[in-house]
Chains A and B, each alone.
Chain A
Amino acid sequence: MTQKNQYKLNVNGQTVEVTAEPRELLIYTLREQLNITGPHIGCETSHCGACTVTIDGKSVKSCTMFVAQAEGKEITTIEGLGGPDALHPLQEAFKEHHGLQCGYCTPGMITRASKLLEEIPNPTEEEIRFGMAGNICRCTGYQNIVKSIKAAAAEINAAKEAAQ
């Protein structure tokens, strides 16, 4: 399994070429080859969601996807959602409502939440809790995460309305 191949990916709007063994997991390509260290490795069995990225519009746990499977796909990580000078409304809301503590699950949590709000633009508390159940946080007890996502939804919806 040492044969390496070339793969073309689109990561956060940029096309990149990587050379990797087909067995390499996407999370390692992102972290070790592309130095995109926002997505983290928490369990390697797709249970915890720390590695969540968006691939072609869907939330994907990048610890259980081979880089070969991501060939030609559009990948968005936390780094693609917003940077320190231009926070995404979810990032703003997590800060405002103390939706994070150690920060390790946070990039995956917010990346997932960004898709949840596309799937359900105005979710109830229960819909948030179930929609986020694939992402484990050990610090916050989830209450402030729920609060943050609700607040971000309101913010995003208000901005949409204002734009119409």
Chain B
Amino acid sequence: MPKDSGIGASSKRREDVRFLTGQGQYTDDINIHGQTYVHFVRSDVAHGKINSIDTSAAEAMPGVVRIFTGADFEGIGGLPCGWQVTDRHGEAMKEPAHPVLAQGKVRHVGDPIAAVIAESLEQARDAGEALNIDIEELPAVVDMKAALSEGSATVHDDLGDNLCYDWGFVEENKGAVDEAIKNAAHVTTLELVNNRLVANPMEPRVAVGDYNRANDESTLYTTSQNPHVIRLLMGAFVLGIPEHKLRVVAPDVGGGFGTKIFHYAEEAFCTFAARQINRPVKWTASRSEAFISDAHGRDHVTKIELALDADNNFTAVRTETLANMGAYLSTFAPSVPTWLHGTLMAGNYKTPLIYVNVKAVFTNTVPVDAYRGAGRPEATYQLERVIDKAARELGVDPIALRRQNFITEFPYATPVAVEYDTGNYVATMDKLEEIADISGFEARRKASEANGKLRGLGVNCYIEACGIAPSNLVGQLGARAGLYDAATVRVNATGSISVMVGAHSHGQGHETAFPQVVAEMLGIDESMIEIVHGDSSKIPFGMGTYGSRSIAVCGSAMVRATEKIINKAKKIASHLLEASEADIELKDGQFTVAGTDKSCAWGDVTLAAYVPHNYPLDNIEPGLEETAFYDPSNFTYPSGAYACEVEVDPDTGKVTVERFSAADDFGNIINPMIVTGQVHGGLAQGIGQALMENCAYDENGQLLSASYMDYAMPRASDVPFYAVDHSCQTPCTHNPLGVKGCGEAGAIGSPPSVVNAVVDALQSAGHNVTHIDMPVSPSRVWAAMNS
């Protein structure tokens, strides 16, 4: 019987009414009296030397308030990088300066050169066109292999070359891995590209800077997944504003998917300029501007080798990857191809020896950072593609080969430094075979053949490391921040509750799911509890929402704070009921003395806390408000098994996804309706990556896919009906809710099964095709069939 409230209930979302009626308050809906508008003039070449910028004609244009260039930011900090990777030789990665506005050189199309502030946006744009900028174009560094070759032009001349770091993991295993591959009964090798993507939340980025002379306080309204992180980075490292004089607000945010984690130049600019001109400054990205200024995702080129013994047991995995950093290091960029990728290369399998090498490369392209999954999709894609290829080479069933190599005992320490606390990969695969009706596939293939179509089936597993992350561990790995989270539970006198949380909700439904947890713990109605998020002045602290961490980390902090509330409330109740504290029980919002009919209500206790006329003032402070910080002791490890069935039109190469099934293990689930929605969205993004989406540069570093005309976003008619199941639940063993996180799974797990299915379809028709790079577009499929 499904519950109708509390943990496990599909409570309808309380945030919906404002969004459904147009009452949402997004950053672009904010306008402040006296507001000005900024237009950024951006580089239209990938690489060039700025000889001069003449602002005089533009300054004389109507409505222009002030024009800023890189020179105005001399002596002001650049955008910081939040993660330092140490390379194979113990050296720190190369870390170039990242000025707010370009200084000396422009390094990618979209690099901001000047900022024109005017009374209206039109005036700012008109004046931007009147700027006289002399740029001497330099050879562009675009291709990663070429970037590392001798004599290549350099993105940052002071760094000497374009190699950010050369990372080996686990370096001590390298010799043993090489040996195992040399001596293997079979080695399958695959070279592949994980295509560059743009996250494309439907709301483009916006920043509004405001300055209050009266109290010397700056406020930034911004489209962010983590307003406290922005306050910390911008205040401490860029502008030198102390935190008590800087407020960062992220109101309703229209999707993030990773790209709104990072601290961007436009945020620092609007905050800085508002103070300089003593007026609010607003910037709203156009979509084309988003394409050339939002951090991109993925863009790995990899060679993977899988070694097997004569019984088809995996004995070793070795990978070599080139990872694109773009022109500057975005906030968390260095961690994505390393600690979020190398640590996942064991996947769901007991491969004893693994070695991962990653060379991170600077190019004259937009910076690349985390996008939904971040490193984990890249790991999953390589591993699940090479296993599929191995199965085909060995003539064994791809599902059987996976099952044979599954990790079946937990906890399991992988050879890549993480310990899976729990999981059941056999159960998710069993569930997948059931919901995907794998046994019925051959009949469906025949039916497709009768219609002149090639049908293919692809399966894959995935594991991810979520609930990011134990602070002491990530500190050792180079993180420059802790990754705990925080919550304050403020019980009001009449018993209603405000919960201030560090996690930010931009589609994930926290305003609904978080109260379900507190309601369950206290036995009161969900409607009495409200979540407050997204404003650094209202919330003690928080590290924000990414890495499927909100419920696992911030939710755990909320549980700890609520436990403190219960402890104190029981003390108050014991006084009111004149009983021993140990005898007080809280159930359904009533405090009772065990074994008696003496009781008082939740509201009696909360009122006593704030109107302490009859109250143990000698022993307990009045009031009922508690804060907890929660630092996880391990990552969480959601996992699952996915299946995709495609039809390929042999005449055109067009691929249609006919069926898609996902069996996930997310541990305990707070709100199944929301979890299902998260999986659906992730699947669409993963299928989009596999079939449609591609961020393409030409050899001069011009972005060819800079609008929805050229970047193919999945539409309703492009994606299938998804069969989703999350009934396999192995609760996380180390957080109080037993939750693992579900936000990224769909995007991590889906691309390999799509490509596996296409290869299966083509091989079924006798085509000797072992791999097609994503996106598996009609032209690529047609070319593969006709090569």
Which residue of the partner chain A has the closest CB to B676? A98
Tell me if A136 counts as interface (CB < 8 A to partner B).
Answer: yes
**10 closest cross-chain pairs (CB), A and B:** A38-B22, A103-B19, A104-B254, A102-B507, A141-B684, A141-B680, A101-B507, A47-B708, A43-B287, A78-B22
In the complex the two chains form, what is the Cα distance from A2 to B16 in whole Å?
40
Q: A137–B676 Cα gap in the complex (Å)?
A: 16
| Interchain CB contact under 8 A, B22 and A130 | no
Is A64 an interface residue, CB under 8 A from the partner?
Answer: no
- Check B708 against A45 for contact (C-beta < 8 Å): yes
Flag if B22 contacts A107 (CB, 8 Å).
yes
Instruction: Establish whether residues B681 and A140, one from each chain, have CB atoms under 8 Å apart when the complex forms.
Output: yes
With an 8 A cutoff between CB atoms, is B131 at the interface? no
B253, A138: Cβ atoms under 8 Å?
no
State which of B198-206, B334-342, B753-761 sits at the interface with chain A.
B198-206
Cβ of A113 to closest chain B Cβ, rounded Å: 11
Q: Which residues of A contact B685 (CB under 8 A)?
A: 138, 141
From B15, B31, B677, give the contact of A103 (CB < 8 A): B15
With beta carbons under 8 angstroms apart, the residue of A47, A87, A136 that contacts B20 is: A87
In contact, A110 and B203 (Cβ under 8 angstroms): no
Please state if B681 and A141 are interface contacts (CB–CB under 8 Å): yes
From B203, B253, B286, B685, residue with most partner A Cβ within 10 Å: B203
Q: In this assembly, does A60 line the interface, its C-beta being within 8 Å of a C-beta of chain B?
A: no
B13 contacts A by Cβ under 8 Å? yes
Q: Cβ of A102 and Cβ of B23 under 8 Å apart?
A: no
Please determine whether B719 and A43 come into contact, CB atoms closer than 8 angstroms. no
A75: chain B residues within 8 A (beta carbon): none
Interface status of B21 (Cβ within 8 A of chain A): yes
Q: Which of B23, B24, B26, B202 contacts A138 (CB 8 A)?
A: B202
If the complex has contacts A47-B707, A138-B713, are A144 and B506 also in contact, measured as CB distance less than 8 A? no
Q: Does B674 contact A (CB under 8 A)?
A: yes
Chain A positions within 8 Å of B20 at CB level: 78, 82, 87, 91, 94-95, 100, 103, 106-107, 110
Q: Which residues on A sit within 8 Å (CB–CB) of B287? A: 42-45, 48
CB within 8 Å for A132 and B716 given contacts A37-B29, A141-B746 = yes
Do A141 and B204 touch (CB < 8 A)? Answer: no
Are B22 and A79 touching (Cβ within 8 A)? yes
Q: Which residues of B contact A36 (CB under 8 A)?
A: 22
B18 contact set on A, CB distance < 8 A: 84, 103
B715 interface hit (Cβ, 8 Å): yes
| Complex partner residue of A41 from B28, B708, B717, CB under 8 angstroms | B28
Tell me the residues in window 101-131 of chain B with beta carbons closer than 8 Å to chain A beta carbons.
122
List 18 A-B pairs, Cβ < 8 Å.
A37-B29, A44-B286, A44-B288, A48-B708, A87-B21, A101-B509, A102-B506, A103-B15, A107-B22, A125-B721, A133-B715, A134-B715, A139-B681, A140-B677, A140-B680, A141-B680, A142-B719, A143-B721
Q: Mark A130-156, 1 if CB is under 8 A from B, else 0.
A: 101111111111111110000000000
On chain A, the residues within 8 Å of B122 by CB distance are 1, 21, 23
B682 at the interface (CB under 8 A from A): yes
| Cβ of B751 to closest chain A Cβ, rounded Å | 14
Q: Is A50 part of the binding interface, using a Cβ–Cβ cutoff of 8 Å?
A: yes
Among A43, A98, A103, A142, contact of B716 (Cβ-Cβ < 8 Å): A142
Interface residues of B in 696-724 (CB under 8 A from A): 707-709, 713, 715-717, 719, 721-722
Task: For chain B, residues 718 to 777, give those with C-beta under 8 angstroms from any C-beta of chain A.
Answer: 719, 721-722, 746
User: Counting CB contacts under 8 A, is B12 at the interface?
Assistant: yes
Q: Does A77 contact B (CB under 8 A)?
A: yes
A37-B22, A143-B722 as given contacts; A98 in contact with B13, CB under 8 Å: yes
Are A101 and B707 in contact, with the CB atoms below 8 A? no
Residues of B within 8 A of A135 (CB): 715-716
Contact residues in A for B62 (Cβ distance below 8 Å):
2
Given contacts A43-B287, A102-B255, 8 further A-B contacts (CB under 8 A): A42-B204, A79-B21, A95-B12, A102-B507, A103-B19, A104-B202, A107-B22, A141-B722
Query: In the bound complex, how far is the Cα of B79 from the Cα of A146, in angstroms?
Result: 42
Of residues 16 to 36 in A, which have CB atoms within 8 Å of B's CB atoms? 21, 23, 31-32, 36
Beta-carbon contact of B201 and A106 below 8 Å? no
Q: Which residue of A lies closest to B62 (CB)?
A: A2
* Shortest CB distance A105–B (Å): 5
Interface residues of A in 91-129 (CB under 8 A from B): 91, 94-96, 98, 100-107, 110, 125, 128-129
User: Residue of B at shortest CB range from A137?
Assistant: B202
- Please report B residues at the A interface, Cβ cutoff 8 Å: 12-13, 15-24, 26, 28-29, 31, 62, 122, 200-204, 252-255, 257, 284, 286-288, 506-509, 673-674, 676-677, 680-685, 707-709, 713, 715-717, 719, 721-722, 746
Q: How large is the interface on A (under 10, 10 to 19, 20 to 34, 35 or more residues)?
A: 35 or more
Q: Given the interface contacts A37-B29, A40-B203, does A94 sit within 8 Å of B16 by beta carbon?
A: yes
Q: Is the CB of A142 within 8 A of B713?
A: no
Report the minimal beta-carbon distance from A3 to chain B, rounded to whole angstroms: 13
Report which of A91, A102, A130 forms a contact with B203, defined as CB distance below 8 A: A102
Is A144's CB under 8 angstroms from B717's CB? no
Q: Are A104 and B683 in contact (CB under 8 A)?
A: no
Q: Chain A contacts of B255 at CB under 8 A? A: 101-102, 104, 138-139
> Distance in Å from the Cβ of A95 to the closest Cβ of chain B?
4
Q: Which residues of B contact A134 (CB under 8 A)?
A: 715
- Residue from A98, A129, A138, A143 whose CB has the most chain B CB atoms within 10 Å: A138
For A1, the chain B residues whose CB sits under 8 A away are 122
B540 → chain A closest CB, angstroms: 25
> Which one of B708, B722, B746 lies within 8 Å of A136 (CB-CB)?
B708
- Minimal beta-carbon separation of A67 from chain B (angstroms): 13
Shortest C-beta distance, B633 to chain A (Å), equals: 30
Q: Is A83 an interface residue (CB 8 A)?
A: yes
Q: Which residue among A79, A82, A107 has the maximum number of chain B CB atoms within 10 Å of its CB? A: A107
The interface residues of chain A lying within 8 Å CB-to-CB of B506 are 102
Complex contact A129–B21 (CB within 8 A): no
The CA-CA distance from A91 to B685 in the complex, in Å, is 25
Contact A91 B21 (CB under 8 A): yes
Query: What CA separation (Å) do A14 and B709 show in the bound complex?
Result: 35
Q: What residues of B have a CB within 8 angstroms of the CB of A87 in the complex?
A: 17, 20-21
Which residue in chain A gives the minimum CB-CB distance to B284? A41
Closest Cβ of chain A: how far from B707's Cβ, in Å?
6
Q: CB-CB < 8 A to B202: which residues of A? A: 40, 42, 48, 50, 102, 104-105, 136-139
User: What residues on B are CB-neighbors of A136 within 8 Å?
Assistant: 202, 708, 713, 715
- Among residues of A, the one whose C-beta sits closest to the C-beta of B677 is A98
Contact B22 A39 (CB under 8 A): yes
B26 contacts A104, C-beta separation under 8 Å: yes
- Given A21-B122, A40-B203, A128-B716, the answer on whether A138 and B681 have CB atoms closer than 8 Å is yes
Nearest chain A residue, comparing its CB with the CB of B201: A138
Query: Does A142 contact B254, Cβ atoms closer than 8 Å?
Result: no
The answer to whether residues A139 and B21 also contact, given A40-B254, A43-B287 and a CB cut-off of 8 A, is no
CA distance A87 to B509 in the complex (A): 20
Q: Within the complex, which residue of A50, A78, A144 is in contact with B21, where a contact is CB–CB below 8 Å? A: A78
The answer to whether B509 and A95 have CB atoms under 8 Å apart is no
Interchain CB contact under 8 A, B707 and A43: yes
What's the minimum C-beta distance from B699 to chain A, rounded to whole angstroms?
Answer: 26
Given contacts A102-B254, A141-B722, contact A47 B709 (CB under 8 A): yes
CA distance A2 to B28 in the complex (A): 24
Nearest Cβ on chain A to B190's Cβ, whole angstroms: 28
Please determine whether A138 and B257 come into contact, CB atoms closer than 8 angstroms.
yes
Instruction: Please give, as numbers and ranges, the residues of chain B lying within 8 Å of A110 by CB-CB distance.
Output: 20
Residue from the set A21, A39, A143 with the largest chain B CB neighbour count within 10 Å: A143
Instruction: A41 to B680: give the CA distance in the assembly, Å.
Output: 24
Bound Cα distance A100, B509 (Å): 10
Cα-based distance from A156 to B226 in the complex (angstroms): 41
A121 to B650, CA, bound (A): 36
B507 touches A129 (CB 8 A): no
Name the A residues within 8 Å of B16 (CB-CB).
94-95, 100, 103
* A148–chain B nearest beta-carbon distance, Å: 10
